[in-house]
Amino acid sequence: MVHCRIKRISDEDYCERRILAFPIFEQWPAFGYARSRLGNDETPLNLAEYYALMQVRFGRSGRLYDDWKGIFSFPFEVELLKDGCCHQYILNIVNWRSTVELRFCKTFTDDVPCDPRVYRRAIENEFSEQEMQFVDGFLYGSLLAFRKRCDYSQVPDFVRKIEMQSVILGYTGGHFFEHFYEDNDEFWRAATSEPQLAPTAIRNEKWPDALEQDWFVVRSLQ
């Protein structure tokens, strides 16, 4: 029996912990994994919805992402209780191109030599790849449920662009949208003519505070 819980942390806290943590190989695309487990009666979340719902649920996005390839990141601390032991991890949920990645890192103490730059496979008898996939699916499922009860008055109108993918997405007039451009010149014409892509407009958006969040509990993993 395994119990897992996650809690939103600041970018600064994440970076401090990341110094003493090694990354786990990413064996699955989170967005694709979660989508493959949807029932036929569920409409998948697009990136604009994912971005908005995560910010309402867990607070304003951090800045730990490549802004040419994505638009958000949400860092968390992770506690895993297994066989009477508490194992510490950190997690950054990141938009990368047109998908979402869950990037787990295993924390260690400074008296245990370990290179934080070297990727390692999941520790199967501690926090296995299958269990990480379960956390992925559980989080995605919780967002699907949250979509039905979300207070959309907390979602400001916004527009974002993913330059590498030539995508403009957002929420305006009560509707989410995603526009994919095959022609790069057409993409840039649309992007430069959109006032909500101005840095001042992005800074002035009102989202819930990312701090002082309660633990989010993932149900027992078998």
CB 204 within 8 A of CB 3: no
Enumerate the β-bridge partners of residue 221.
2
Q: How far apart are CA 26 and CA 202, in angstroms?
A: 30
pTM: 0.88
In this model, does residue 62 exceed pLDDT 90? Answer: yes
For all residues of the chain together, what is the average pLDDT? 86
Q: What pLDDT shows up at residue 47?
A: 92
Is pLDDT above 60 for 31? no
Which pLDDT score is estimated for 210? Answer: 60
Range 117-136 average pLDDT: 88
pLDDT band at 88 (very low <50, low <70, confident <90, very high): very high
pLDDT range class, residue 33, cuts 50, 70, 90 = very low
Cα end-to-end distance, the chain, whole Å: 6
Query: How many C-beta neighbours within 10 Å does residue 183 have?
Result: 9
What confidence score (pLDDT) does residue 114 get?
79
What is the number of other CB atoms lying within 10 angstroms of the CB of residue 124? 10
